[in-house]
Structure 1
Amino acid sequence: MDYFIIQEDRSAGYTGYVDASHKWGLPGVYCPLCQDSWSGGANVYPSVDLTPITALADFETSRAEPIEEYERMCELVRPLLPPGAQLEPGAGFGPLEGKAQGSFGQLFMYFDEVLLIQREALNKLQAEGLQGIKGCPTALRFRQRNSPELLELELLPVGRVHPKCLPPTPQPPCPRCGRLMHPLPDVLILDASTLPEHLDLFRLGDYCNVNICTGRFADACQRLGLDGVVFQPVEVAATQP
């Protein structure tokens, strides 16, 4: 199976612009063990509705909290998550809310991690029988006529990079807050044993700002003429026993 990194096609000539955030989110965290304050925010679940939570206002303001408060809030959210979801400081939930304008391709990258798709393109991909193609409504406001209907594709965190593209003696994640201690490798290699067989579209579990698709997904997009993104081949290697 071939795999690809999905990236914005900067040569496509579209003028699309989005200024938005998800309706709810977990706070950033201060970790007393690694003594770092951080927020990831790449793990987002637009299908998750937090309205059953009584203290909903706690999830409406971006801020950093002590790790004990962050962990308490995680436990409130966890029962509402889709299978396979994982949480991190700054994780977002609910529809993407904000402003949008300009012209958009059939697919659109908002920052590196959020993948938006026009309704017609979503219908075409789902008709191809691809697995894990879930489009969620957004709440984007356009000030223009003939504005597109943009949905957000919900990507689950699955798969990891192969150890051979990491430093020879990589520092393990913080055991308390989970923060990775080394940056994204310049050249990615995926660990074959961690890749899902049931998804054609996902994000990496250890570097969740990297969106990955199978060759089936890339081929379908190219055959259907769905533009706005490019597909960069990524190496896959087996883990040595």
Structure 2
Amino acid sequence: MSLSTKRRFFWMQEDRAAAAKHGGEINAWHTLSLPGVICGTCGETWANTGHEYPCVDLSQLPERKAFERPRPEPFPEFARLREQVRPLTPPHSELPPGTGFGPLVGRASGTFGPFAWVWGQKLLVRRDALTQLKTEGIRGLHACPTQLRFRQKDPPALLELQIPPHGRLHPDCIPSDEPSPCVTCGRWGLARPEVPILDAASLPTDMDLFKVGNFATMVVGTERFVEAVHRLGLDGIRFQELPARDGVAPPHGM
């Protein structure tokens, strides 16, 4: 039996009905990030979304202030700043322009269920729900403190999940006329395919939660993760099964 038929994967998105039921609101973002890039090769000025490392602390960097103001920089300056943070990040992190670091900072109010989303992109988990998932044996859960300011007393303990990018979209869902990534900055202007297909051979085997490596706004959970969430009765996530096919995808994107 092939790898793609043995394992099932699910695209995870915000369950807006559950969010409305709990009524919590969050307005927050990461205050430190790599700058965007101005590329002299492809002529694009751009920054990425979906790449965040909330557990990475940049406070001791001599040039910390260089990561405080979002802005584009010429590629050589961007690359210089990227090398400053690389030793602090997990091995093999790609760190495209716009990568965020450090805790989520901002305001929050109301009540929250086991999971909460920020702008439909960043996944937060209540501390008690995280403990339950770890007790169920869910692998690869790395949660980081947030710096959310609540107005009410006894605010919930919300943690941000640091979800690493792994794996690729399968070539079958990528248009054949799609330009290759820029050889200098790595920009790949792919729109999300209408029917995303995962490259089964590229997906991690030792974690139950990850982002798609070449489309990092997509959060993916394994069947083990989905079953644990349902078994524990944890709301806040809508699951859509993704097809996965054998075959190694080309190294598109950063």
Query: TM above 0.5, one fold?
Result: yes
C-alpha distance after superposition, 1:50-109 (max 9, x if no partner)? 123101110111111111110000000000001242201110011001111122221112
Q: CA deviation at 1:180?
A: 1.0
Of 81-90 and 2-11, the range deviating more from structure 2? 81-90
What is the aligned partner in structure 1 of residue 234 from structure 2?
A: 226
What is the aligned partner in structure 2 of residue 90 from structure 1?
A: 98
Map 1:1-241 → 2, pairs under 5 A? 1-12=7-18, 13-239=21-247
Structure-1 separation of matches of 2:112 and 2:13? 15
SS in 2 for 1:7: strand
Q: Is the 8 A contact 2:32 2:67 kept in 1?
A: yes
Q: Is the 8 A contact 1:22 1:94 kept in 2?
A: yes
Q: Is the 8 A contact 2:23 2:111 kept in 1?
A: yes
Q: Is the 8 A contact 1:132 1:201 kept in 2?
A: yes
Structure-1 separation of matches of 2:188 and 2:118? 23
- When the two structures are aligned, how many residues end up with a matched partner? 241
SS in 1 for 2:77: helix
Q: Which structure 1 segments of 5+ residues have no match?
A: none
Q: CA deviation at 1:171?
A: 1.2
SS in 2 for 1:177: coil
Q: CA deviation at 1:234?
A: 0.5
Q: Which structure 2 segments of 5+ residues have no match?
A: 1-6, 250-254
Of 15-24 and 42-51, the range deviating more from structure 2? 15-24
**RMSD, aligned CA:** 1.4
C-alpha distance after superposition, 1:117-172 (max 9, x if no partner)? 00000000111111111111000001123421100001111011110111023211
C-alpha distance after superposition, 1:16-36 (max 9, x if no partner)? 221111131101111111111
What is the aligned partner in structure 1 of residue 252 from structure 2?
A: none
Q: 1:121 corresponds to which letter in structure 2?
A: A
TM-score after normalising by structure 2 = 0.91
Q: 1:28 corresponds to which letter in structure 2?
A: G
Q: CA deviation at 1:240?
A: 7.5
Structure-1 separation of matches of 2:246 and 2:119? 30
Q: 2:223 corresponds to which letter in structure 1?
A: G
Structure-2 separation of matches of 1:198 and 1:240? 18
Structure-2 separation of matches of 1:229 and 1:167? 30
Structure-2 separation of matches of 1:47 and 1:37? 28
